[in-house]
Amino acid sequence: MTNPETSHSMQQSDLLPITPEIEAKETALKQLLAGYGSLAVAYSGGVDSSYLADVAYEVLGENAWTVLADSPSIPREELQEATALAAARGWRLSVIQTREFEIEEFLSNDGRRCYFCKSELFAQMDAFAQEHGIAVLAYGEIADDALDPTRLGARAAQERQVTAPLAAAGLSKDEIRALSRRRGLPTWDKASFACLSSRFPKGTRLDIQEMLKVERAEQVLRRLGFRQYRARHHGDICRIEIDPQDFARILDVHARSELLDALQKVGYRYVTLDLAGYRTGSTAT
């Protein structure tokens, strides 16, 4: 069995060289953060928010908070890894509970789900900041995100005056990966992740029990050694998305048998492989 953390993971040779231009962007980021005085970062354990949290801690020390939201949309393994990373780096971490599953507009999943989710997150962070005297809230939007129409959190961020310092500094995903690698952050080559709610087609009502099925299905894919994957939920059908270069491996008779057996035990009647491969937002329409 292949280790999921190394299967088709990025190599150091794939990283951008850290040029003077990239150095200047990180310097600009530090200047922005220093000007805030105190800061709470919306932290998920992903590439971008981990880098932002690390730079914020370097610049602001104990005046930088990392705020990790816990909800049924977040796999337990992701939550545990994010918590462990914050502890290892010495960040000031606080875990808050968000209640998006009490919001009817979120549950209806009508295309505005991300807005209501982020709005709830930022409302809880705002209350946390007021309680602790924190001046600024920030989240991990990057320069690339302006090009992605599936991201709807920007409106919620604007309404709550949540800043996006990575985007303001002009940092892209590839640049953040390179800078993260230099900092020794284990997230530098982490695969992209979105909350489990994104596995349900637009218009399919969200249900916590069904979401647990998705979480268990993705645990199976991770255990089998796949790095970039999604288990898309379509009733009693689980549609698997993986990197096309992994197709041969998933169709190996032993891997296929193990996957089918495990996902049928999870509760899926049918398991399909999407020949288009992994892509973001494939259940958005």
Edge-to-edge strand list for the sheet holding 92-97: 92-97, 64-70, 39-43, 136-138
Host H or E run for residue 50 = helix 47-60
Domain 196-273 in the same topology as domain 12-189: no
Domain ranges in the chain?
12-189, 196-273
pTM value is 0.90
**Total Cβ atoms within 10 A of residue 106:** 22
Rg (CA), the chain: 19
pLDDT at 154: 87
Let me know: does 16 contact 174? Beta carbons within 8 Å. yes
Q: Would you say 115 and 104 are in contact if contact means Cβ atoms under 8 Å apart?
A: no
CA pair distance 23, 38, nearest whole angstrom: 23
Residue 153: exposed, middle, or buried by beta-carbon count in 10 A (0-12, 13-18, 19+)? buried
Strands 64-70 and 39-43: parallel
Pick one of 2.30.30, 1.10.3470, 3.40.50, 3.30.70 as the CATH number of 196-273: 3.30.70
- pLDDT tens digit string along 183-210? 999 999 999 888 999 999 999 999 999 9
The 10s digit of each residue's pLDDT in 55-106 is 999 999 999 999 999 999 999 999 999 999 999 999 999 999 999 999 999 9
Give the CATH fold of the 12-189 domain. Answer: Rossmann fold (3.40.50)
Average pLDDT over residues 37-65: 98
